[in-house]
Amino acid sequence: MGEKVLMKGNEAFAEAAIRGGCRFYFGYPITPQSEIPEYISRELPKRGGTFLQAESELGAINMAYGASAAGGSVFISSSSPGIALMQEGMSFLCSAEAPLVALNVSRGGPGIGGIQPGQADYFQATRGGGNGDYRIPVFAPSGIQEAVDLIYNAAPLAEKWRNPVMIFADGILGQMMEPVTLPEQRPFDEPQGIRARKPWAITGYGDDDSRKNVVKSLRMQPDDLEAHVEKLFEKYARAERELVAAESVGVEDADIVLVAFGTVARIAKEAVEILAERGISAGLIRPVSLWPFPYGEFDKIGPRTKVVISAELSMGQMIEDVRIGVGKRLPVRLIHRTGGMIPTSLELADRAEAIFKEYIRT
């Protein structure tokens, strides 16, 4: 571990992906993540990797698919509308079981929306986005160090699960600076060594055509396709058990429990302190994995709690998972800002207090 360095989120994300072993990056400029392709275009070739600016996000994701199918360790990044364009490839990668590290530095929508931070891609990230039955593990960091660690670990994770892994960051994380400690550089794969580590990759079979590989997603026979999707979902069932991650603070004995991810969770932490000064005990559940969602964390909520509040930079998307986690035990309410607006901790505390009062008045 090296010393702490001060880095802009986007540059730290890029560095973490390189150090994590991603030798190939394909991208297209879009705010608020353009520092990533800029940084990688400068740094990756120096270290023996490849940067390629695609003609579009469609081009980028399909280059990524090709490189991944060929056994390369690939990183891509974009922001909301660009990630939307990439969904075609995400579906292909999942069906073809090709690994990928994908980063969404998300902004407000719908449509071209704005360039300020948002979390309204929650459904897109956790519910599919592309066609067909598939899942993508999604992790939401709330600070730059956590983002660096998640991105660094995403390459081996994607390779282990033979599936894309997504990091869901918001524009705040991309643009802010924080001191970080960067992990050691993992060695890049050399082309000659790929077949040994990834026996499924298309590398050219050499002298033995019994080793011919095909990476594909077409299955014209319904029984064949059904069996394939069932097999994928056995994998996803294991992923649900093994990849779930969350941070919970003070939920066992709380008047109210806030649920928030990403930067909003940090703002909520401060709101918890403000509420404590007002005599309201607030707990916080911070999902780190958005899929699989940490439903089990909600079992920790104690008898004292009156209401669970989902705080989001959207019109309420994660709240659907919160409702599943809470079940019928407690009311679930929403505090939201959208369009790139961000609540302050004071605003969050005020709105949470107002909601709490509705449940103690009776």
Residues making contact with another protein (CB under 8 A): 4, 6, 24, 26, 31-32, 50, 52, 54-56, 58-60, 62-72, 74, 88-89, 92, 96, 115-116, 171-172, 175-179, 191, 194, 202-209, 212-218, 263, 266-267, 269-270, 273, 342, 344-347
Q: Which is nearer to another protein, 208 or 223 (CB)?
A: 208
Place of tokens 């916080």: 284
How many CB atoms sit inside 10 A of residue 323's CB? 17
Least spacing, CB of residue 112 vs another protein, in Å: 12
**Backbone torsions φ then ψ of 141, nearest 5 degrees:** -75, 155
* 293 vs 336 by CB, closer to another protein: 336
Beta partners for 168? 104
Q: How far is the CB of 173 from another protein (least distance, A)?
A: 9
Provide, rounded to whole angstroms, the least separation between the CB of residue 189 and another protein: 9
Contacts of 122 (CB under 8 A, 6+ apart): 168, 290, 312, 314, 317, 318
Q: To the nearest whole angstrom, how small is the minimum distance from the Cβ of residue 1 to another protein?
A: 16
Backbone angles phi, psi at 118, to 5 degrees: -155, 165
| Cβ contact 173:143 at 8 Å | yes
Classify strands 100-106 and 74-78 as parallel, antiparallel or unpaired: parallel
Say how many CA atoms lie within 13 Å of 129 toward its Cβ.
26
Tell the smallest beta-carbon distance from residue 242 to another protein (Å): 28
Closest distance to another protein from the beta carbon of 360 (Å): 26
Which DSSP symbol is given to 107? B
Burial 150-187 (b: 16+ CB within 10 A, else e): bbbbbbbbbbebbbbbbbbbbbbbbbbebebebbeebe
Q: Which is nearer to another protein, 28 or 168 (CB)?
A: 28
* Cβ closest to another protein, residue 93 vs residue 322: 93
State which residue, 149 or 321, has the beta carbon closest to another protein.
149
Specify whether the CB–CB gap between 188 and 49 falls below 8 A: yes
**In the complex with another protein, which residue's Cβ is closer, 123 or 205?**
205
CB 71 within 8 A of CB 201: yes
- Cβ closer to another protein: 4 or 231? 4
Q: How far apart are CA 66 and CA 56, in angstroms?
A: 15
68: nearest Cα among 130, 158, 136, 146:
158
24 or 39: CB nearest another protein: 24
Output the smallest distance, CB 331 to another protein, in A.
Answer: 26
Q: How far is the CB of 252 from another protein (least distance, A)?
A: 21
How many beta carbons lie within 10 A of that of residue 243, not counting itself? 18
| Cβ at position 282, least distance to another protein in Å | 13
Q: Which is nearer to another protein, 71 or 325 (CB)?
A: 71
Going by C-alpha positions, the residue among 165, 185, 174, 154 that lies closest to residue 37 is 174
